[in-house]
Structure 1
Amino acid sequence: MGSMAFSKGDRVVWNTPQGRTEGTVVERRTSDFQLDGQKFTASEEEPAYVVESASSSKRAAHKESTLTRRS
């Protein structure tokens, strides 16, 4: 899966209960962390990405498999 890896500043899209959202990768995390009181698991093998929504500026964490690079 290394070929899918994202970097800070990459524009990505992901699905939410409200529909498709787009934004920017803010940070790549490779160890467990908390964001807005929610715990996330991350490792070198399965990093998590903190993304910022373009519409709301809210931040969320996602696994690599839930993100798609925006062309």
Structure 2
Amino acid sequence: MKAAGAQSPDDNDEYLQIQVPSVTKHHLGIRAAETREPIRVVVLRALKAYGVTVPDEAISDRRKKRPA
């Protein structure tokens, strides 16, 4: 059981599924590869730059880190 106020960022996440043009998805994939971040992070950064409210803690790579 989680204590009040100890919510993880995922607790408030919701799914959003959209269709984008192929060229857009391709360019998102290129940007993600260049920055070594998931497409989700690239999109959230872009939305924030556009003026949409995106909490800073939501813009993080949620994948498990591998030892170097």
Structure 2 length-normalised TM: 0.23
Q: Larger Rg: 1 or 2?
A: 2
TM-score in terms of structure 1 length: 0.22
Q: Which has the higher helix share?
A: 2
